[in-house]
């Protein structure tokens, strides 16, 4: 599972500490799949950790480490 310590504690935009997090599916099926080929289970899309700043609304998505580990070997992802 994702290590919560990887998530930000302050907002990059307004420097507020009023951050809230949740987990949502990265999609697939009838919805867009935002993390293609990064799942660790064939039947389920990976989850994002979503962090929202209550003060300014900046919203950030974070991909768990177990899914990021597949980036370099996946044909769907190209290193910038
Ligand atoms: Zn903010």
Three-state secondary structure string covering 6-31 = HCCCCCCCCCCCCEEEEEEECEECCE
User: Are 7 and 49 contacting, i.e. CB atoms less than 8 angstroms apart?
Assistant: yes
pLDDT band, residue 3 (cuts 50/70/90)? low
Domain presence at residue 80: no
pLDDT at 78 over 90: yes
Does 12 reside within a domain?
yes
Question: Rounded to 5 degrees, what angle do the CA atoms 24, 25, 26 make?
Answer: 115
Q: How many Å lie between the centroid of ligand 1 and the Cα of residue 2?
A: 23
Query: Total structural domains in the chain?
Result: 1
**Any domain includes 19:** yes
CA–centroid distance, residue 73 to ligand 1 (Å): 34
Tens of pLDDT, residues 8-65:
999 999 999 999 999 999 987 788 888 888 988 877 889 999 999 999 999 999 999 9
State the distance from the centre of ligand 1 to the C-alpha of 5, rounded, in angstroms: 19
pLDDT value of residue 40: 87
Q: How far is the CA of 18 from the centre of ligand 1 (A)?
A: 8
- Domain range spanning residue 35? 4-73
- On whether residue 79 sits in a domain, the answer given is no
CB 38 within 8 A of CB 27: no
* 63 within some domain: yes
For ion ligand 1, residues whose CB falls within 5 Å: 11, 13-14, 16, 53, 55-56, 58
């Amino acid at each position: 599972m994702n290590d919560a310590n990887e998530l930000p504690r302050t907002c990059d935009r307004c420097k507020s500490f009023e951050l809230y997090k949740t987990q949502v599916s990265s999609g697939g099926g009838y919805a867009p799949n935002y993390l293609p080929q990064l799942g660790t289970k064939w039947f389920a899309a990976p989850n994002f950790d979503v962090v929202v700043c209550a003060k300014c609304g900046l919203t950030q998505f974070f991909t768990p480490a177990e899914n990021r580990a597949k980036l370099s070997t996946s044909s769907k992802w190209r290193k910038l």
